[in-house]
Amino acid sequence: MWFPARLAALTTLAVAATQAMPVFAQEPEERKIGIDRRDGRLFVSLGLQDLLRAQDAQRLLSGFTSRVLVRVAVVRPDSPEPVAQTIRHTEIVYDLWDEKFRVRRFEAGGKVETREASTASEAIDLATALVAFPVVSLDRLEPGVAYRLNVRADLNPISQELLADVRRWLARPSARGRMGSGDSFFGSFVSIFVNPRIDESERQLRLVSQSWVEPTR
Amino acid sequence: MCFPSLLALLVLLPSLAQAKLPADKIEPPAAWSDGFGLRYTIERIEVRGNRKTRTDLILREVALSPGDTVTADDTRVERARLRLLALGYFLDARLSMIKGERRGGAVLIIEVEERGTIILNAIHLGTSQATTLWGGLDVSERNLLGRGLSLGAGFVSSTRPKVDGAEPALAFSLRMAGPPRLHGLLLSGSALFSRGSEFFRVRGPAAEPDPAEFVAVNVRRAGGVVGVGTVLSRTAYLWGEGRFETVRAELPTLRVRDLGQGESQPIAFLVRQGSSRLGSIALTLDLDSRSDPVLPRAGRHLVVSVEAATPACASQYTFVKATAQGSLYFPLPVGHVIGVHGLLGGLVGDAPYFDRFFVGDLNLLLPPRAFGINFSTQPSRNFLGTGVADHRYDKLAGRLLAEYAVPLWRRHGLFYRGDAFAALGVFALSNPDDLRRGGASLGQRLPADLTADLGLRLDTYIGIFTLSVANALGRLPL
């Protein structure tokens, strides 16, 4: 009896250790941001251009809308709850006949800004560079307390409703929906395998900023 | 028995769990804009990259035609892309447009990158006190000849069981299904052959798995199933099936169980001696609102099926079997999930043993059947001290299982996603006669036992795998 037990323990440890490595590697990257305080608000500047890769520039020419959604949370390192949060989403469309990019940015508070870009890299910059981006009113930050930003950026996020639909398409029930594999004399008919491209978005960046201590005002 | 492994996994769980960042909790916008009002008329459609998959199959899923007008923000386009990916034939699918011949016109380009579509459904491998070794595979090709047809085949084979009169098991199954469609009917068909033995106790205490205390019934089954399914709504599916098979059973000469102290009782072999026929029709309703079919985080899943075998289906066995299985998933704030799974089943009539509720299908700690063949004489472990050890095939079954799942990782090469899970439940297996038995204790009338599992559920490029303690226990003679 002792041998299978030890073998099982070692196997479990080996599997867990193998899988633990990529998990730790998945910790959000720390990235330096620029901070500015004016008009009673905190502004940050941050580049997220690496959300799009070289081949994405070509895909922006598809004629269909590409989207970038950036979510920003201000957090205290000692608390999991954000002090403030905001989003910006950007839509990029290439006009096939006018041969130029149209970019529209939506920010929290209803601010909408429409721009045109002549190249893909210009359009990408408009979508992924946060320049003097307002994140929180200074009234909500306590002087002397350390804060940091928590940022998530998604390329072409998919709505939860559509994602749920897709998962259900994958889950078309097997022809014999009875009691588990043991009863499957006729076998499981519809194998499911999930395409990793079907996710909340096509690509995701998750990062944290350096922490800063809010000065006394 | 495997406490070191349980402990190791429990200790590692907290460190493996992926932290959910505050930014992940920010809700995305409820709706997007109108795509600047850009509209194009599709002049023609080009499909690229499909070396195997037929173009008409791809166009059917995309559901756009020349002459249609699309906007830059058209939701049909994203849905079409995801539908192509959901087929499972492609690693990637992209839709784009280039200028057409007339202003406002466009050529729609669909680019796909094909993938391997051979899927490993099951690996049957195990050893028990009664059967030294059994093994087999079940694989499917999901895109046969590029037409979206599914063709699946499986087999299992075993050494000769150490039960008096038993023969080595051998089973084949061949399955085929039409291309998946979002609307309309899905047709399927299966053919099967199996040869194997089922074991019946002739002496000794119920908890003793010694193969020398069993006799074997040798059974050959050959037949098939045809089915038709349809989508009723976004969350409801309905399936109808017709089944017919011939059964040939050789009963042992010893047909009485020695109960000790000079007492004996005839053994109910639950299958007809010689040749017999089994025909049935079945209806299955599937209501599925889970967030994910493999690793759900929320939602419900209910499957209700009724199968009736009658002389009208040329059956010599007459029975009605009803099964209801339900699952509820509750997401927890930390990203963990609690799942509650219930099963209720009842059977009326003279169903053969292989259509009855089997203890190995209810108890995760016992060896599972493969293609309907049981390889073990192991009874349920009887943690609750009831009469469950004496129940293997029965007419009434119920199980309630609670599961705690912890998401571990996502998007890592071959192992795309993984959950660690721990499950604990109770099941009962009985029949109307035992339930009505006067003077017997509750544990004798309603034999129940605990079942449990602990392990990893992996969503990979070639299928869904579960690495669990119960899986290991079920495959080893412990």
In a domain? residue A66: yes
pLDDT at A22: 35
Domain that holds residue A57: 27-153+203-212
Residue B447 pLDDT greater than 70, yes or no? yes
Chain B positions in Cβ-Cβ contact with residue A30 (cut-off 8 Å): none
pLDDT at B475: 65
Contact B127, B477 (CB under 8 A): yes
In terms of pTM, does the model score above 0.90? no
pLDDT at A177: 36
pLDDT at A58: 86
pLDDT at B409: 77
* Distance between CA atoms of residues B77 and B69, nearest Å: 11
pLDDT tens sequence across B242-285: 999 999 999 999 999 999 888 999 999 999 999 999 999 999 99
pLDDT tens sequence across B373-420: 999 999 998 999 998 998 999 999 999 999 999 988 766 566 767 889
The overall average pLDDT reported for chain B is 86
Instruction: Give the three-state DSSP class for B22.
Output: helix
In a domain? residue A179: no
In a domain? residue A90: yes
Question: What is the CATH code of the structural domain delimited by B38-114?
Answer: 3.10.20.310
Q: Which residue of B has its CA nearest to A165?
A: B234
Residue B56 pLDDT greater than 50, yes or no? yes
Contact B402, B196 (CB under 8 A): no
**DSSP H or E stretch at residue B320:** strand B319-331
Question: Per the CB < 8 Å rule, is B225 touching A175?
Answer: yes
Burial bucket for residue B276 (CB in 10 Å: 0-12, 13-18, 19+):
middle
For chain B, give the percent of residues with pLDDT over 70: 88
Residue B54 pLDDT greater than 90, yes or no? yes
Residue bearing the bigger pLDDT, B225 or A19: B225
Q: Does A178 touch chain B (CB under 8 A)?
A: yes
Q: Crossing angle of helices A160-170/B75-87, nearest 10°?
A: 30
Judged by average pLDDT, the poorest of A155-169, B248-262, B325-339, B433-447 is: A155-169
Domain ranges of chain B: 38-114, 118-474
pLDDT tens sequence across A69-112: 999 999 987 887 889 989 999 999 999 999 999 999 988 877 88
Q: Does A4 touch chain B (CB under 8 A)?
A: yes
Give how far the C-alpha of residue B27 lies from the chain's centroid of Cα atoms, to the nearest Å: 34
Chain B positions in Cβ-Cβ contact with residue A1 (cut-off 8 Å): 1, 478
Question: Per the CB < 8 Å rule, is B371 touching A28?
Answer: no
Question: Per the CB < 8 Å rule, is B36 touching A89?
Answer: no
Q: Does A166 touch chain B (CB under 8 A)?
A: yes
Question: Per the CB < 8 Å rule, is A96 touching B82?
Answer: no
Chain A positions in Cβ-Cβ contact with residue B22 (cut-off 8 Å): 73, 75, 80-82, 85, 150
Q: Does A31 touch chain B (CB under 8 A)?
A: no
Question: Per the CB < 8 Å rule, is A194 touching B96?
Answer: no
Facing residue for B26 by CB, picked from A87, A93, A185: A87
pLDDT tens sequence across A7-20: 444 444 444 433 33
- Reported as a pLDDT band with limits 50, 70 and 90, residue B441 is confident
DSSP tag of B262:
T
Number of inter-chain CB pairs under 8 A, A vs B: 315
* Distance between CA atoms of residues B473 and B478, nearest Å: 7
pLDDT at B4: 43
* Distance between CA atoms of residues B317 and B276, nearest Å: 8
CA angle A10, A13, A18 (to 5 degrees): 125
Chain B positions in Cβ-Cβ contact with residue A80 (cut-off 8 Å): 22
pLDDT at A197: 54
* Distance between CA atoms of residues A153 and A68, nearest Å: 7
Residue A212 pLDDT greater than 60, yes or no? yes
B118-474 sits in which CATH class?
Answer: mainly beta
DSSP tag of A174:
P
Q: Which residue of A has its CA nearest to B12?
A: A16
Q: Which residue of A has its CA nearest to B38?
A: A95
Question: Per the CB < 8 Å rule, is B290 touching A91?
Answer: no
Facing residue for A28 by CB, picked from B21, B106, B469: B21
Task: Determine the average pLDDT of the residues in B24-42.
Answer: 72
pLDDT tens sequence across A117-145: 999 999 999 999 999 999 999 999 999 99
DSSP string, A179-215: STGGG-TT--SS-----TTSSSSSEEEEEEEPPEEPP
Chain A positions in Cβ-Cβ contact with residue B36 (cut-off 8 Å): 91, 93, 95, 102, 104
Between positions 117 and 146 of A, the ones with CB within 8 A of B are: none
pLDDT at A5: 45
- Reported as a pLDDT band with limits 50, 70 and 90, residue A202 is confident
Q: Does A19 touch chain B (CB under 8 A)?
A: yes
In a domain? residue A120: yes
Dihedral, A196, A200, A203, A205 alpha carbons, nearest 10: -130
Q: Does A21 touch chain B (CB under 8 A)?
A: no
Question: Per the CB < 8 Å rule, is A15 touching B467?
Answer: yes
Chain A positions in Cβ-Cβ contact with residue B23 (cut-off 8 Å): 71-73, 82, 85, 150-152, 206
Question: Per the CB < 8 Å rule, is A87 touching B418?
Answer: no
Looking at the 3D structure of chain A, how many domains does it have? Answer: 1
Question: Per the CB < 8 Å rule, is A4 touching B459?
Answer: no
Pick among B36, B90, B300 to test the A interface (most A CBs inside 10 A): B36
Q: Does A43 touch chain B (CB under 8 A)?
A: no
Q: Which residue of B has its CA nearest to A11?
A: B5
